[in-house]
Structures are given as C-alpha cells and as structure tokens.
Structure 1
Amino acid sequence: MPIARSGVLWRRIFFLLLIASTASFVSYVQHEFPHGGSRWGVIYGSVGFVLCFLLAFFGVRKRWYRSTFGTVEQWMQSHIYLGVFVLIILLFHAGGRFGDKVAVATLVLVAIVVLSGILGAILYITVPRLLTEVESNLTVDEVSEQINQLGKQMARISSGRSAPFQRIYEQLIRELSPGWLAGWRLLFSRMRRGKAPLADWTNLLSLVQKDEQEELRQLLVVSRQRKELLIRLMYQQRYKNILEFWLYIHVPFTILLLLFAILHVAAVFYYGRISW
C-alpha cells in the first residue's frame, strides 16, 4: 500500500525529533542526575504535556468539517507519529525514576493510549480491505430487509403444514437467530468464510409426508439463501465492530490521561518538586 505524502513528511519529522531529543538526553545524563524536576526534565515534561492535549484535539478536528487548518489525513499522520514521540519524550522526562505514583500512572496511561492508537491505525489499514470483500452493492438496511422478506417467505411456506414440517421450520429459524450477546460473540468469535454448508436434505425430506416434500425443498432453498445473506451481513458487522471496538479503549483512556496529566502538573507545583 503506498504511503500518503503526509505520512512520508511526518515520518521524517518524527525521526528528526527522535534524533534531536535522544542527542539532548544523552548529553543531559552525562552532565547531571536525570529526574523529572531538573531543567531538562521539566522541558521534556512540558513538551509531552502540550503534545498530549494537542493530539487529543485530533478527535475534535476530524469532526470539525469547516476547519481549513490542515487536512484530516495530515492530522491523522501527525497523531500517529507524535503519539509515539510523546511516549519517548515522557520516558526521557522521567529519567528512569518512577517513584511518584501519579507520574507512573500517567506514563502507563500514555503507553495504553499510544498502543491502542497504533492498533487503531493498523485496523484502519487492514479492515476496510477485508470489508470490501464481503460488501455488496446493497446497503446494510437493504440486506436486512431481504433477510426479513426471506424469513416471511419461509413462514408462508410452512404455514398450515404438518407438525414435523413445523419442527424443521422452527429448527431452521433457531439456527439463524443471533442469540444472546450476539454483538460481543461476533466480535471475538472466529468465523469461517464461504457459503453455508448444505444440510442433509435427504434425511429432512424423509421426516415429512410425500405431498409436503416439494414445499420442504422450497423451504430449504429459501433458508439457504437467507443464511448466506445473514453470513455476509454478519461479516460486514464483524469488521465494523472491530473498527469501532478499539475506540472503547483509546478514548476513555485518553480522557483519563489528560486528567492524570493535569493532576501530575498540579502536584509538582504544589509540592515544589522543580529544581533548576
């Protein structure tokens, strides 16, 4: 997959920032004891603090359609590379000293947010390609309507039939029912791709009277069509669930991170831990 021009630009910016910050940190540890309250520790911490809030603005920018301050693609690329840089710069800020519980919690939150962001970036590259393999020209609502219509057709075919016929119909309907907590099971389950396996029609046909066997064949054909549509719809929903699931980690932990960052800075000034 070709890398967007903004991606190449921000990759270069990232490596320049990484080289510059690493060089400054090496010089810093050679001349003084590294810790968060030193001059360089405060500089690293201030840069990380500002970047955390700047990166959080991406969630606002991508919904701010009238803004001309950079494209969404540019903001996304900066979000990824600067997010990784924040984790590095805050490690430099700590200087390998992890005595403060709030500071440690803040650093852990940064790691969670950055790693979940990287996961989200990977998903946004891979999942849309998988989604195109199962999507059709029909919308989700149109596919759902077709599934409902086929279900009604199955009900009409089985209406007024014998008890064995009705039992087969009910069994087919149960097999196609989503069930309890279907969304979560769909997200974490492993699904086999391809057409639905054909049932053993011979055994099923032998369960009903001869004058109902033709109608049962029709029922089984409609059931198979409905199942294939349902599997396609489930794949679409599965991929969309995966695209959204990581946000349930990324967004709440980002909010927690900002709160802990403010708390950490407030504690530093309150207890006077800055030593120049």
Structure 2
Amino acid sequence: MMILFCGLLGVRKRVPTWRLGNASSWMRAHIWLGLMSVPMILFHGGFAMGGTLTQVLMWLLFIVVASGVHGLAVQQFFPRLLTNQVETETIYEQIPHVIEQLADEALQVIESVCGPLAPPSEPVAPPSPEDAAAASRPPARPKAKPAAPKEGSGPLREFYEKRIRDFLAAPRLSTEDLAVPARSKALFAHLRKLIPPELQDAAGRLEEICTERYALETQVRLHHWLHGWLFVHAPLSAALILLTVVHALMSFKY
C-alpha cells in the first residue's frame, strides 16, 4: 500500500483539481513513505531476497529510492546554482529561438562595421533550370548599397569568422575557447588591442552576445541535471508498482 500511495503522486500532479491536500503535502508524504518502504519491505521479506520476482522487486525498489534521493538532492541544490550562474533565466523551450536571435544579432553587428560577409562555405549543388531562369531575370527593385568596411575592422572580422560564428551556431558547446569564460575574456581583451577605438563598442557587444550564449548553455546543462533523473525514476516506479501488484496476486493465489 505504501508503494501504491507513492505512485499516486504522479496522478495527483496530472489532476491538480483534486482537493485532497496541497502538492507540497503530497510530496512530503511521497518522500517519507518512499524512504520508510525500504526497511518495511526488508522486514516483510525477513531480509531474504527470495525468488526471481522478489529479487527483481527488491532491486527495483533500491534503484527507485536511490534515484528519488538523488532527485531530491538535485531539486534542493540546483535551483540556487541556476540563480547564481544565470542572471536572466530563459524559458527552456525558447532557448533554441533565443540562440538563433543572438547569432542574427552578432551578424548584424559585424556587418555594420565590416561590411557584408559571405555565408559559411557549403557544398554547392548545380542550379536547377528554375533557379537559373530566376537568376537571369532582373531584380524587381535595386538592392540597398551594403555598408563599407570601416578602417581597421579586419581583425574583428577575422575573429568573428574563425571563432564567434561557429560558437553561436553550435547546437551544444563543448571545448570551444569561447565556452571557457576565462579564455573568452582573454581573447576579447587581446582583440580590443588590435582594433581602433571606434570599433570597441562593436567588440563589446559581441562579447556580451557570447556571454549570453554561454549562459544559455549553462541553463541547458543544469536543466538536464534537474530533470534527467526522472527518466530513471518514473518508468522504474511504474514497473515497481506493476510487479508489486503481480507479486500480491501471486501471494493470494499460492
């Protein structure tokens, strides 16, 4: 019964209109009953593992309780860590869109001082007849004249093409120099020595964009740690409840 009651927490979360106590009370009961179930079941089985089904049940119980304790510790620690390391938290589902916006803004900043940039090199497929015909037609209206590169913008452009563009385009950051805060700060400090004063603001904004991108990556990692344990705890809890019912039915039958 204790295990079945612990399993009702998932039902309680999906039916918030239930007026059977508040969510925090259910969570406290879930935690304490889950912890108490270990010694209770050990005494119930006489500290013997029994047959195959009993052994499976015992191991499932140990793993479920251990993952729950891990999740409880993570839930207590990581929210504070997230607040300390991420100044402005972004809704998790919107993070990919925000990353795209940062990449677009960085491109606008660099093109405003360095002129238009060629897109990253990709394999070029032969044009189709429709594309060739469209290219041969005159444009409907003349394009705006691109901004001319400012004097001394070469190092800034090279830094963007070699480091920033790939850094902002990467779906996940790993060992890039800009993904290490101290290394990133040193690289931008060196860049500022190579460009004239009128380009310092552009370099500063690019550094801010890279810092925001790193903060988003930090938030993604912490989010995975904060919720990843549920992918172990929830399905194994369901399996534990199911096998507990089977065990009870077999006990009544035999």
Could you state the TM-score of these two structures normalised by the residue count of structure 2?
Answer: 0.69
SS of 1:57 mapped into structure 2: helix
What is the correspondence of 1:1-276 to structure 2 with a 5 Å cutoff?
50-136=1-87, 139-140=90-91, 141=94, 144=98, 147-157=102-112, 158-160=114-116, 166-171=157-162, 172-179=164-171, 182=172, 196-199=184-187, 202=190, 217-270=200-253, 272=254
In the alignment, the residues of structure 2 paired with residue 259 and residue 95 of structure 1 have an alpha-carbon distance, to the nearest angstrom, of 22
After TM superposition, give the deviation of residue 199 of structure 1 in Å.
0.6
SS of 2:185 mapped into structure 1: coil
Q: State the Cα RMSD in Å.
A: 3.4
After TM superposition, give the deviation of residue 235 of structure 1 in Å.
2.2
Does structure 2 conserve the Cα–Cα contact (< 8 Å) formed by 1:83 and 1:114?
yes
In the alignment, the residues of structure 1 paired with residue 183 and residue 56 of structure 2 have an alpha-carbon distance, to the nearest angstrom, of 48
Cα offsets for 1:191-217 (capped at 9, x unmatched): 8777942316557976xxxxx856765
Cα offsets for 1:20-59 (capped at 9, x unmatched): xxxxxxxxxxxxxxxxxxxxxxxxxxxxxx1111111101
Amino acid aligned to 2:222:
Y
Amino acid aligned to 1:159:
G
Q: Percent identity?
A: 24
Does structure 1 conserve the Cα–Cα contact (< 8 Å) formed by 2:188 and 2:203?
no
In the alignment, the residues of structure 2 paired with residue 205 and residue 251 of structure 1 have an alpha-carbon distance, to the nearest angstrom, of 54
Cα offsets for 1:162-220 (capped at 9, x unmatched): 987654322221234434xx39x79xxxx8777942316557976xxxxx856765553
SS of 2:71 mapped into structure 1: helix
Amino acid aligned to 1:178:
A
SS of 2:14 mapped into structure 1: coil
Cα offsets for 1:44-97 (capped at 9, x unmatched): xxxxxx111111110121232212211111111111110011111111111122
SS of 1:197 mapped into structure 2: helix
SS of 2:187 mapped into structure 1: coil
Aligned to 1:31: none
In the alignment, the residues of structure 2 paired with residue 137 and residue 168 of structure 1 have an alpha-carbon distance, to the nearest angstrom, of 27
Aligned to 1:23: none
List gaps (5 residues or longer) in structure 1. 1-49, 207-211
SS of 1:69 mapped into structure 2: coil
Amino acid aligned to 2:250:
A
Amino acid aligned to 1:150:
E
List gaps (5 residues or longer) in structure 2. 117-148
1:176–1:63 distance in 2 versus 1, CA, 3 Å: same
In the alignment, the residues of structure 2 paired with residue 192 and residue 78 of structure 1 have an alpha-carbon distance, to the nearest angstrom, of 42
1:165–1:225 distance in 2 versus 1, CA, 3 Å: closer
In the alignment, the residues of structure 2 paired with residue 93 and residue 258 of structure 1 have an alpha-carbon distance, to the nearest angstrom, of 17
Amino acid aligned to 2:186:
L
Cα offsets for 1:224-274 (capped at 9, x unmatched): 11111112222222222211111011001111112222232333344x2xx
The aligned length equals: 210
1:170–1:91 distance in 2 versus 1, CA, 3 Å: same
